Amino acid sequence: MFSVKLPPERADDSCSLCFILEEDASKYFQFIFNVDNATIYWKHVRAYDAVNVFGVPKLLTETMNALFDNYHLHHHSTALLEGIHLSFKKSARSCSS
């Protein structure tokens, strides 16, 4: 389960919490963005028990696949959220000592 921030054109939608399975990530991405030429990725954000669903243009995915054999793609917001969580965790430890 994770919170969904809907774009302004869908602000009247009643869905504020959603359950998502990895195999439904593409459907969720299409619901929010309605983009056809993207490769959809799904990453678990462990610090918040949430998921980050994001898309990369198919041309970029094809190019990366042609250039690299085994690469891992990371979205900046996943790293940002995990970094914020770690920062607050360290800050709480230093305040309690």
Domain boundaries, the chain: 2-96
- For the chain, give the longest Cα–Cα distance: 52
pTM: predicted TM-score of the whole model, two decimal places: 0.60
| Cβ contact 27:38 at 8 Å | no
Q: Which of 84, 28, 83 is nearest to 52 (CA)?
A: 28
Cα(94)–Cα(96) distance, integer angstroms: 6
Q: Has residue 4 got a pLDDT over 90? A: no
Cα(26)–Cα(40) distance, integer angstroms: 6
Angle (CA) 24-59-6 rounded to 5° is 40
For residue range 8-43, what is the model confidence (pLDDT) as tens digits? 554 454 443 445 666 777 787 777 788 888 888 888
What pLDDT is recorded for position 5? 47
Give me the amino acid identity at 36.
D
For residue range 62-79, what is the model confidence (pLDDT) as tens digits? 999 999 998 888 888 888
What pLDDT is recorded for position 65? 93
